[in-house]
Chain A
Amino acid sequence: MGANIADQNEGKTWDGGSTRPMGASYGKMMMWFFIVSDALTFSGFLAAYGLTRFKFIDVWPIADEVFTHFPFMHGTHAPMYYVALMTFILIFSSVTMVLAVDAGHNMNKKKVTFYMFLTIIGGIIFVGSQAWEWKNFIQGSYGAVQLKDGKIVQFAENGHQIALADFVTSHPKERVDHTRHNGLWFESGDANPTYTVEEVVASFKANPQVNLRIEKIDPETKKKIIVSRSEGLKFLSQAARVVEGANLEVNEYGSSQFADFFFFITGFHGFHVFSGIVLNIIIFFNVIIGTYEKRGHYEMVEKVGLYWHFVDLVWVFVFTFFYLV
């Protein structure tokens, strides 16, 4: 047996003796250092988001016009209530986690089990909520038209944004959705949008109360500019396609980079939550079978707790930069 193998330390946390640098155990310190590096990764992403946002500061989508859905309340305008709820869920699961750590200090196996269980449930609810948020974002709620140069124009009535479905009348379509099953030489193609560009333009002309809303933000009121009817028609003469919802290439809310950053950062965070749930479940079962009871301390719960709190911490910042600012 090699004397230099790391686990040859007679149950001591650090190899080479019982000195604990900075009074922390090896595992806890390494978890902290991992958290520092992961925090820098997230700051890099959020700072890149900041750069892009300041680069497009006069056309960036306004968050509380984008995230307006709340479960079981269709059609109501509920800006940010849902993310606020998600924030509470995550903060609460942080509380149950810290209660589990606390119970671990008192060697109370029953309470650690109970609080770990609540934490896992909280995490699952959070990831589910995030999936629902993504679903709404991907489906979109209003629909918009993209111009030939890539700008997005939306529609408004009495100063409020309206959906395409509110004023566009559609006609039976000639084009069918081509797939691999009915195409002769099919490689790829866009899905048919609900309305064609021609239908949208014709309905815009037919409904004089509808106005065009462009991406540009009025610096005085900090609201998206609504242009006059005649100007709107000029914009629509450049219409290229109808956009519904969001994907990585185009989205109905405006700048495509907004959706890209949203998917990337909330997705990266969601994956952290998912990993946290998996780690919590592993520790949860270890608690149940009494691993830490035998070991004499619940430090493992503390370490996984650090990670879980970190995930909550990152969400606090994501919440601020994507939804509030």
Chain B
Amino acid sequence: MGNAADHKALIWKVFGILSAITIVEVALGIVKPEFLFTTQFLGTSLLNSLFLILTIVKAYYIVWYFMHLGDEKKNFKYSIVLPLVILIPYLATLLIIEGSYVHDVLAPYINWKY
């Protein structure tokens, strides 16, 4: 625990980072740079992967500095973070792979000619 002024400065710094990331995200979402938007990588566009990374960075700053998880004991940190880091990507990966598969199977049967 540092002194009070340090804490305040850190809070505003984190606020600045979160705001900056949000502004970048919205700007990218509106401009949709051609290269990022159309390049496919791992089943989605580079732009989407970038959004995902920026979101995780934001989540890190919220959890670590606003929720003060960074100040907790090591074993407590892990007991919170590990279940989420293991389970969520696991679930998301399986469901998204399944979703793509269902799409590949069903899409040819949808009629677009009348």
Contact = CB atoms under 8 A, between A and B. Distances in A.
Interface string A289-325: 0000000000000100110011011001101100111
Interface of B is mostly: helix
A58 B114 contact: no
A50 B52 contact: no
Contacts of B96: 47, 50-51, 54
Q: Which of B12, B30, B58, B114 has the most CB of A within 10 A?
A: B114
B67 A22 contact: no
Contact of A316 (B28, B45, B62, B113): B62
Contacts of A282: none
Nearest to A320: B55
B11 A84 contact: no
B8 A102 contact: yes
B73 A36 contact: no
Dominant secondary structure of chain A at its interface with chain B:
helix
A23 interface: yes
A58 B103 contact: yes
Contacts of A320: 25, 51-52, 55
Contacts of A92: 15
Given A43-B92, A102-B7, A24 B76 contact: yes
Interface residues of B, number: 58
30 contacts: A22-B72, A22-B73, A23-B72, A29-B76, A36-B84, A39-B84, A40-B84, A43-B84, A47-B92, A48-B95, A50-B96, A53-B99, A55-B100, A55-B106, A64-B30, A79-B30, A88-B19, A94-B62, A94-B66, A95-B11, A95-B12, A99-B11, A102-B4, A102-B8, A214-B112, A220-B38, A313-B62, A316-B59, A320-B52, A325-B48
A13 B106 CA distance: 56
Interface in B57-102: 58-59, 62-63, 65-68, 72-73, 75-76, 79-80, 83-84, 87-88, 91-92, 95-96, 98-100, 102
Interface of B: 1, 4, 7-8, 11-12, 15, 18-19, 22-23, 25-26, 28-30, 37-38, 44-45, 48, 51-52, 55, 58-59, 62-63, 65-68, 72-73, 75-76, 79-80, 83-84, 87-88, 91-92, 95-96, 98-100, 102-103, 106-107, 110-114
